[in-house]
């Protein structure tokens, strides 16, 4: 992605919001990055289009899965100096609770990182961090600088 090179040249390599703004689906969903120090929290604001079950109402499983995957990728981008976005090798998602129609937050943790592959665990929650609505574990292919 040219945006990564451009951000590095401008000295904004750690500006994860600028990176998210250049990912079309993340922009479509309205995902924001809240960075405090070295900690990144992703924010998915509620939008009516994210509802999968209007009876409950509950967030669509695809929106939850996408948010988990993007949370993992952005954390990897922050931790590494990849030339391109990491490619998903595989990801498993545990849906733990129904996602209600409120703002959703996510954090990811790189559990193991090699030269070419990284393992990342992510969790998303809504009002209480100790009550996640979904969690994931994924393997991602890295492209170093």
Highest mean pLDDT among 4-13, 20-29, 77-86, 97-106: 97-106
How far apart CA 84 and CA 100 sit, in angstroms, is 33
Tell me the CA end-to-end span of the chain in Å, nearest whole number.
12
Strands (E), 27-116: 32-36, 39-44, 51-53, 58-59, 87-95, 104-113
Which residue is listed with tokens 């929290």? 41
- pTM as predicted: 0.90
Average the pLDDT over 41-50 and give the result: 95
Give the pLDDT band (50/70/90) at residue 32.
very high
What integer best gives the mean pLDDT of the chain?
Answer: 90
Distance of CA 116 to the CA centre of its chain: 20
How confident is the model over 91-112, as pLDDT tens digits?
999 999 999 999 999 999 999 9
CATH architecture under which domain 2-141 falls: Roll (3.10)
Q: Identify the weakest region by mean pLDDT among 78-82, 115-119, 136-140.
A: 78-82
pLDDT tens-digit readout, 65-97: 999 999 999 999 888 877 788 999 999 999 999
Q: Where are the domains of the chain?
A: 2-141
Q: Do residues 132 and 125 lie in contact, with contact meaning Cβ atoms separated by under 8 Å?
A: yes
**Would you state the pLDDT for residue 49?**
93
């Amino acid at each position: 992605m040219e945006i990564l090179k451009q951000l590095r040249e401008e000295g904004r390599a750690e500006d994860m919001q600028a990176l998210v703004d250049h990912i079309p689906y993340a922009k479509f969903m309205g995902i924001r990055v809240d960075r405090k120090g070295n900690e990144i929290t992703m924010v998915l604001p509620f939008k009516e289009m994210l509802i999968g079950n209007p009876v409950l109402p509950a967030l669509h499983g695809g929106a939850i899965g996408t948010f988990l995957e993007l949370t993992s990728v952005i954390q990897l981008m922050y931790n590494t100096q990849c030339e391109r976005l990491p490619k998903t090798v595989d990801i498993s998602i545990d849906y733990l609770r129904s996602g209600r129609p409120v703002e959703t937050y996510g954090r990811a943790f790189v559990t193991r990182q090699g030269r070419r592959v990284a393992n990342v665990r992510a969790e998303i929650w809504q009002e209480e961090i100790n009550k996640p609505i979904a969690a994931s574990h994924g393997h991602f292919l890295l492209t170093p600088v």
